[in-house]
Amino acid sequence: MRHLLLAALLAAPASAQKEPKRASDKDRATPAPIGATASSSIAPAAKAVLANGLGLSLIESHRLPLVAVTLVIPAAGSDADPKGKEGLTSFVAAMAKEGVPGLPTAADLADAIDDIGSSLSVSAGSESTTVTIVTLKENLGRALELASKVVREPSHLTPSAESAAALERLRQRSLSGLEMEKGNPESIASERLSSALFGDTPRGRPATPEAINAITAEDVAARHRASMVPNGAVLSVAGDVTMDELKALAGAHFGTWSPSSVPAPAAPTPVLGPAQTVAAAPTGLVIELVDLPGTQAQMMLGVLTAPRLAADYDALSVAVNVLGGPLVGRLEQNIRERNRWAYGARAGMSAWKDGGMTEIETKVQADKCGDAMGEILKEIALIRSTPVPAEELAAVKVSLKGLYLQRNRTVQSLAARQAAIETMGLPASTLNDYPQRIDALTAAQIQAAAAKWLNPSQLKVVIVGDAALLKPQLAPYGTVKVFDADGKPKA
């Protein structure tokens, strides 16, 4: 997960947003009444392919003169980062915006984007690098031109004093960010949980100061040339444009983008889910306890779960929301509302082509960490062994459907979701039939998915806090291994 933190550190800072008003305790404890969910019909995506293999996918929406673009480049994922140079793909993504022909610096490029009232971002993920654009229709051509230059010919590919200085600025920013994380319980727990889940693979190896310092300008340029290619890439667009217009613009700016004839290196990934060979410790769980004295205990539990194409993915997603969804999830109601040990407790789920993970997170008062562990395990056992009651299930379904429809109101969301559909090979109906799929799920299907994937014998547990206080509380649940903040074992 540190790869995501590093990518965020290297990305341009986002605009500050006002924190939404918090619900009162009474609001949180009382579920909202169940009502009907508004329906939504999204125009089917039109598709085309350029001669170089770049896929085009378009959802037309002519309500506003606005267009959103999501370009997904599968060959440029951080899963291919070499050992000892973790973070390389994040550097490639960041350096892509440090100037292009005619706009030699990051400031010049940013000004050009601002001049047309648009946004352009580049972000690295484990499976791909993504370029996103939001622009007025009248400026779509110019926005695509700038994006093409960022992807195909960033200034750093030609060595210069300016690009060398830009790389060093990014390096120092990354090192400063890593230094700040050392005392952050959430960052420490997240890094150790990734290592526990994914082992000695790019997803499990953190970006370290040694790895960041090992990355050279030549590494960044070589990785850019090898990975920023149209092989398997998709240009997903939503908004006020027709397919004829899109084909003309995409062809003009990306049509001569040359595909690579060299297959992308196979990224080592763990076997995910129930097939993974993970033996439970003889005395129960293995709990990694990082000694960082304080008044609270940061708790993270994770398990490898369903890939996005799994037949029971939707059922598991509902089960995870019952367990740890916002406000009315069982963990929130138990740990926050009834016991008042924490400000919140949640469960979240991520999924990729090759697997997925479910994570439980809370930060409890230190003297209640053992009690909280017991309650979390009880809630996991309950969702695996007992069907969700009809009223509770109906409320979760309404919440999920409403949130899904709300998120699909923007062209940015539509472009991103359609890009995921294309790159993951999901059915064309995925955007429109989500509410129907959720409605069709039964309590038995949801329980079966939870029983299959939320296997307590495969749970990885990381807790950050005062080891002297926490270890006796956690000992009844398994083997407690204590580490210092740098990850070194302690007696």
pLDDT in tens, 377-436: 999 999 999 999 999 999 999 999 999 988 888 999 999 999 999 999 999 999 999 999
Give me the DSSP letters along 252-291: HHHTT-PPPSSPPPPPP----GGGS--PPBTTBEEEEEEE
358 three-class SS:
strand
Q: What is the DSSP letter of 387?
A: P
Tokens found for residue 84? 């000892």
In a domain, 450, yes or no: yes
Report the first-to-last Cα separation within the chain, whole angstroms.
27
Residues 213 and 356 in one domain: no
The total domain count for the chain is: 2
225, amino acid identity: R
Residues 101 and 205 in one domain: yes
Closest CA to 193 of 203, 182, 178: 203
Q: Distance between alpha carbon 322 and the CA centroid of its chain, in Å?
A: 21
In a domain, 17, yes or no: no
Which pLDDT does position 41 carry in this prediction?
77
* Burial label, 83 (beta-carbon count in 10 A; 0-12, 13-18, 19+): exposed
Of 220, 254, 288, the residue at which a domain comes to its end is 254
Which pLDDT does position 3 carry in this prediction?
53
Sequence-ordered list of residues with C-beta below 8 angstroms from that of 32, at least 6 positions apart, any chain: 395
DSSP lists the bridge partners of residue 349 as: 358
In a domain, 248, yes or no: yes
Give me the DSSP letters along 75-116: GG-GGGPPTT-TTHHHHHHHHTTS-BTTB-SHHHHHHHHHHT
In a domain, 411, yes or no: yes
Return the sign of the alpha-carbon dihedral for residues 433, 436, 438, 440: negative
Residues 402 and 442 in one domain: yes
pTM, to two decimals: 0.88
Of 221, 254, 287, the residue at which a domain comes to its end is 254
> What angle, rounded to 10 degrees, do the helices at 443-453 and 313-324 form?
90
Which pLDDT does position 407 carry in this prediction?
86
In a domain, 189, yes or no: yes
* Phi-psi map region of 273: left, alpha, beta (phi>0 left; psi -120 to 50 alpha): left
Q: Low-confidence residues of the chain, pLDDT below 50?
A: 5, 8-9, 12-29, 31-32, 34-36, 38, 267-283
In a domain, 268, yes or no: no
448 three-class SS:
helix
181, amino acid identity: E
Which pLDDT does position 271 carry in this prediction?
43
Residues 238 and 282 in one domain: no
Which pLDDT does position 7 carry in this prediction?
55
DSSP lists the bridge partners of residue 329 as: none
Residues 244 and 144 in one domain: yes
In a domain, 32, yes or no: no
Which pLDDT does position 43 carry in this prediction?
84
Which pLDDT does position 56 carry in this prediction?
98
In a domain, 23, yes or no: no
Q: How far is it, in rounded angstroms, from Cα 222 to Cα 161?
A: 18
We report the CATH number of the domain holding residue 362 as 3.30.830.10
Residues 214 and 329 in one domain: no
Residues 228 and 355 in one domain: no
Residues 101 and 185 in one domain: yes
Look up the domain containing 193 and give its range. Answer: 2-10+42-254
Q: What is the DSSP letter of 216?
A: -
Radius of gyration (C-alpha) of the chain in whole angstroms: 24
DSSP lists the bridge partners of residue 364 as: 297, 342
Residues 339 and 429 in one domain: yes
Residues 226 and 301 in one domain: no
Which pLDDT does position 118 carry in this prediction?
98
Phi, psi angle pair for 47, to nearest 5°: -130, 150
Which pLDDT does position 12 carry in this prediction?
43
Please give the C-alpha separations between residue 169 and each of 91, 172, 220, 231, 394, in angstroms, as whole numbers: 11, 5, 14, 31, 51
**Share of the chain residues as helix, strand and coil, in percent rounded to the nearest 5:** 45, 20, 35
Residues 458 and 358 in one domain: yes
Sequence-ordered list of residues with C-beta below 8 angstroms from that of 24, at least 6 positions apart, any chain: none
Of 254, 289, 305, the residue at which a domain comes to its end is 254
Which pLDDT does position 266 carry in this prediction?
52
Q: How far is it, in rounded angstroms, from Cα 463 to Cα 419?
A: 36
Residues 240 and 325 in one domain: no
The C-alpha angle with vertex 313 and arms to 311 and 316, in degrees rounded to 5, equals 125
Closest CA to 330 of 346, 306, 317, 342: 346
The C-alpha angle with vertex 468 and arms to 463 and 474, in degrees rounded to 5, equals 50
